Structure 1
Amino acid sequence: MNIRTVLRVIRSHASKDGDGVKISRVHGFNDAKFSPFLMIDELKSDNPDDYIGGFPPHPHRGIETLTYMLKGHFQHKDHMGNVGELSSGGAQWMSAGKGVIHSEMPIMNDGELHGFQIWINLPAAKKMNPAQYHDFQAPEINEYGTKKNLLRVISGRATEDGAEIVGPLQSTGVETFIADWRADAGEARNLTVPTDYQVNMYVYKGTVDIANQLVNQGHMVQLSPGDLLGLTASEDAGVLILSGLPIDEPVVHYGPFVMNSMDEINQAVRDYQNGVLTD
Structure 2
Amino acid sequence: MNNAFERRPGARPLLRGVGSQASADGAGVRIQRVAGFDSPDFSPFLMLDEIRSENADDYIAGFPPHPHRGIETLTYMLNGEFEHRDHLGNRGAVSSGGAQWMRAGRGIVHSEMPAQAENPAEGGMHGFQLWINMAAADKMSKPTWRDIQSAEIPELALDSAGSLIRLIAGEWTVGGEKRRAPLTDAAAEAAVADIRLAAGAEVNLPLPLEHSTMVFVYRGALVTERGTIARGNMLLYGTGESLQLRARDQEGAGLLCLHGLPLREPVAHYGPFVMNSREEIEQALRDYNNGTLTD
Normalised by the size of structure 2, how large is the TM-score?
0.92
Contact 1:211 1:230 in 2 (8 A): no
- Which of 105, 108, 119 is the equivalent residue of 2:131? 119
Return the offset for 1:212. Answer: 6.4
- Which of 161, 186, 211 is the equivalent residue of 2:200? 186
- Which stretch has the larger CA shift, 121-130 or 152-161? 152-161
Return the offset for 1:193. Answer: 1.0
Contact 2:207 2:242 in 1 (8 A): yes
Tell me: CA distance 1:140–1:233, structure 2 relative to 1, closer, same or farther (3 Å): same
Letter in 2 for 1:113: M
- Which stretch has the larger CA shift, 36-45 or 109-118? 109-118
> Which residue number corresponds to residue 143 of structure 1?
155
**Structure 1 gap ranges (5+):** none
Paired with 1:74 and 1:178, the residues of 2 have a C-alpha distance of 19
Contact 1:6 1:213 in 2 (8 A): no
> Which residue number corresponds to residue 269 of structure 1?
285
Q: How many residues align?
A: 279
> Which residue number corresponds to residue 100 of structure 1?
108
**Structure 2 gap ranges (5+):** 1-8
Return the offset for 1:153. Answer: 0.6
Paired with 1:63 and 1:94, the residues of 2 have a C-alpha distance of 9
Contact 2:60 2:116 in 1 (8 A): no
Return the offset for 1:210. Answer: 3.4
> Which residue number corresponds to residue 233 of structure 1?
247
Paired with 2:228 and 2:90, the residues of 1 have a C-alpha distance of 42
Contact 2:170 2:186 in 1 (8 A): no
> Which residue number corresponds to residue 195 of structure 1?
209
Return the offset for 1:111. Answer: 1.6
SS in 2 for 1:7: strand
Equivalent residue runs for 1:157-196 within 5 Å: 157-196=171-210
Name the one with the larger strand percent: 1
- Which stretch has the larger CA shift, 238-247 or 207-216? 207-216
Letter in 1 for 2:223: D
Output one character per residue of 1:127-149: Cα deviation in whole Å (capped at 9) or x when no partner: 00000101100000111107821
Contact 2:169 2:184 in 1 (8 A): yes
- The alignment's C-alpha RMSD in Å is 1.3
Output one character per residue of 1:17-71: Cα deviation in whole Å (capped at 9) or x when no partner: 0000000000000000000000000001111110121101000000000000000
Contact 1:203 1:216 in 2 (8 A): yes
> Which residue number corresponds to residue 4 of structure 2?
none
Is 1:37 the counterpart of 2:45? The answer is: yes
Contact 2:167 2:181 in 1 (8 A): yes
SS in 1 for 2:151: helix
Return the offset for 1:121. Answer: 0.2
Is 1:63 the counterpart of 2:63? The answer is: no
Letter in 2 for 1:167: A
**Sequence identity of aligned pairs in percent?**
52
Letter in 1 for 2:288: Y
Letter in 1 for 2:275: M
> Which residue number corresponds to residue 258 of structure 1?
274
SS in 2 for 1:174: helix
